[in-house]
Amino acid sequence: MKNLPSTPGVYLMKDSRGSIIYIGKAKNLKRRVQSYFQQSKAHPQKIIKLVSNIRDFDILLTDTEFEAFMLECKLIREIKPLFNKMMKSPQSYTYVVIDKDRKYPDIEITNHRDEQDGRLYFGPFPSKARVETAIIGIKEAYKILCSNPKRQNSLCLNHSIGLCIGMCGGGPALQEYHAILKDIIALLNGKNEKVLNDMKQEMDKAAVDFDFETAAQYRDRIDAIQFLLRKEKVIEFTGENKNLVVLENLSKETFKLFLIKRNEILFSKIVTIDNLEINQLSSLITKTFNGTTLPAGSLIKRDEIDEAQIIYNYLNSSHCRYKTIPDKWIRNQNDKNIENAVTKLIYKKQTITK
């Protein structure tokens, strides 16, 4: 451990048989790996048990923390180490589904997506518990938390306590319910945040009235809904299958170049400005992205969501800058447009990530 570098990378913990039992990533490998063997009394029981089984470890160096994140994700999926599975919450990927064609359409949760059933799906989301919290919060906010599953034109108990507008009784309330569903679909699509703003006002009001339990409930529901909206943004962005040229400065004269499409790094290389040929770089971009065109809006699979989240967060961080290269430039091999875009990207002012 004393000889470990203070650079980004991935570490692979092994047991006495040489089996990989845990994989982790670090911005600073030396500090992160040493932390497992320091202040052991402060560690959770799962970490203490992990450390007691470690007999050796390997490291894989990366140039950037982003690459360490992506490599860790890839290796965990391929190797499936015992302690990675033990330390991860028992979550299954979850979808929110709405069947708009039913007389009484409901907002439901499912673990499977069927593109042939004509229903509207949102997700996948990695936390079923947070999805459930968000859906209950939405239903309570719109007063559509109906407790009559059969809805045979009779008002439910929740209607009497103000949690259901009475769509279970049919009539005008049912028409109102269909209008509310349109608002909820707009909310999940990130196009209408009125319900979130209303909930924030109710949370603030409860806090002013010293009703901290109610304020905390609103806070948890707001967080859960925002969790859904963030994931939908990731899914939408990734589904657009953009051709991304990404740069991260390593020093004043060098940077790491990534060519990314969907949830995959197609090419990466350290580039020095002094030896940079823009036209050669443009040709490389065209060659790399050519033939990788995917239909925009194609579904994000469960095993893609983790990498998609890492890439999305990276692009929205201060560590890098990027340009999107349109498919038509790639198809037409329009090097001049690509050259101009890359030139602006390279010489754009950027703070060096330390």
Give the whole-angstrom CA distance, residue 122 versus residue 258.
Answer: 30
Give the whole-angstrom CA distance, residue 164 versus residue 158.
Answer: 5
Residue 253, CA atoms < 13 Å, CB-side half-sphere: 3
At 295, the pLDDT band (50, 70, 90 cuts) reads low
- For residues 224 and 320, is the Cβ–Cβ distance under 8 A? no
Q: Which residues contact 319 (CB under 8 A, 6 or more apart)?
A: 64, 65, 66, 248, 353
Residues 101 and 82 in one domain: no
pLDDT for res 352: 43
At 117, the pLDDT band (50, 70, 90 cuts) reads confident
Residues 227 and 99 in one domain: yes
pLDDT for res 296: 65
144 DSSP assignment = B
pLDDT for res 297: 64
Give the whole-angstrom CA distance, residue 320 versus residue 67.
Answer: 12
At 351, the pLDDT band (50, 70, 90 cuts) reads very low
Domain membership of residue 296 as a residue range: 240-346
pLDDT in tens, 54-108: 999 999 999 999 999 999 999 998 999 999 877 665 456 788 999 888 878 888 9
In sequence order, which ranges of 143-277 are alpha helices (DSSP H)?
A: 157-160, 172-188, 194-208, 212-239
Residues 119 and 196 in one domain: yes
Give the CATH number for residue 68. 3.40.1440.10
pLDDT for res 230: 86
Q: Which of 142, 103, 96, 137 is nearest to 119 (CA)?
A: 96
At 354, the pLDDT band (50, 70, 90 cuts) reads very low
Mean pLDDT computed over every residue of the chain = 86
Give the whole-angstrom CA distance, residue 213 versus residue 203.
Answer: 10
- Select from 55, 87, 119 the last residue of a domain: 87
Domain contains 153:
yes
Mean pLDDT of 264-279: 85
pLDDT for res 299: 75
Residues 122 and 201 in one domain: yes
pLDDT in tens, 21-41: 999 999 999 999 999 988 767
Count of structural domains, the chain: 3
Q: Which residues contact 234 (CB under 8 A, 6 or more apart)?
A: 305, 308, 309, 312
> Residues 11-39, buried b or exposed e (16+ Cβ, 10 A)?
bbbbbeeeebbbbbbbbbbbebbeebeee
Give Rg (Cα) of the chain: 25
- For residues 107 and 188, is the Cβ–Cβ distance under 8 A? no
Residues 263 and 226 in one domain: no
pLDDT in tens, 161-219: 888 998 888 888 888 998 889 888 988 888 878 878 888 998 999 999 999 998 998 89
pLDDT for res 85: 79
Residues 185 and 317 in one domain: no
Domain contains 353:
no
Give the whole-angstrom CA distance, residue 32 versus residue 18.
Answer: 21
